[in-house]
Structure 1
Amino acid sequence: MSNCLHLAIPAGDLKVTTAFYCDVLGCKTGNSEEGRWVDIDFWGNELTLHQSAERLPTVRHDVDMGAVAVPHFGIHLSESDFNDLKARIEHAGVEYLDKPYRRFIGDEFEQETFFIEDPNGNVLEMKTMVNPEVLFKKG
């Protein structure tokens, strides 16, 4: 766990947003302070949801697939886990902010990605890469 990412975000109604991450996305809870915050095991990373009245503002930035919402965060998944997550999201009736899209087709960076919002409007990008080992190859 030494390379675990920690991210804290405003959750709005903590119970509603926690249910989204656990019941829809399949995450688990960890440590918490009742009514104030809860840690979510976000695929091995620590996502802390904070009870809040505010929402983060989002803007759109142009990339090859169109204008994507910023800020956003997410996770890289295996193709199997990615497809399972898409099925969970569709089964729960969650609408895509940006529908699944395949990028960089035929390139070593080929990937499929989609964007959704949690109940407080935090934007998540979920993706799977054909060749995840090349992720930081250009850097």
Structure 2
Amino acid sequence: MSNILHLAIPAGDLKKTMVFYTDVLGCKIGNGEEGRWQDINFWGNELTLHQSEEALPSVRHDVDMGAVLVPHFGIHLEQDDFDALKDRIAAAGLDYIDEPYRRFKGDKYEQETFFISDPNNNVLEIKTMKNPEVLWPEG
């Protein structure tokens, strides 16, 4: 095991939030403490959801596609996995914060991205890169 990101966030109602991460996003359950916190496998990274009363504050920052919510976290997916996740979001009847949008068209960094929130209003950005190899070039 190496270079795994760990992130812990307030989850609000832990049971409700777990349904979002497991049923909609397809994440697997890891270690946990009933009613207090739960680790999930967030595409190879450890996301710890904490039962909480609070939610993270957020503000919008201007980028090329408009004003995006910060803080946010997310994942880069292969196109097929990205499309399958959009299908699961639609099947669950969830709304996007920011609809799927293609950024940097015709550029080496071309990508499709969308923003969605979990039940505690933690903001996630999910994206797929047309050329994922350009993200972290060798050297």
- Assess same fold via TM > 0.5: yes
**Residue 81 (structure 1) aligned with residue 81 (structure 2):** yes
Q: Which structure 2 residue ranges, 5 or more long, are not aligned?
A: none
1:131 maps to 131
Gaps spanning 5+ residues in structure 1: where? none
Residue number in structure 2 paired with 1:98: 98
User: Aligned runs of 1:23-42 on 2, under 5 Å?
Assistant: 23-42=23-42
Instruction: Please give the alpha-carbon distance, in whole angstroms, between the structure 2 residues aligned to 1:33 and 1:20.
Output: 18
Aligned to 1:122: 122
The aligned residue for residue 52 of structure 2 is 52
Q: Distance in 1 between matches of 2:4 and 2:131?
A: 22
SS of residue paired to 1:113: strand
Q: 1:122 offset after TM fit, Å?
A: 0.1
4+ long deviations beyond 3 Å: none
Shift of 1:136: 2.9
Coordinate RMSD, CA, aligned: 1.0
TM-score, normalized by length of structure 2?
0.97
Specify the SS of the correspondent of 1:32: strand
2:75 partner SS: strand
Answer yes or no: is 1:109 the counterpart of 2:109. Answer: yes
Per the normalisation by structure 1, the TM-score is: 0.97
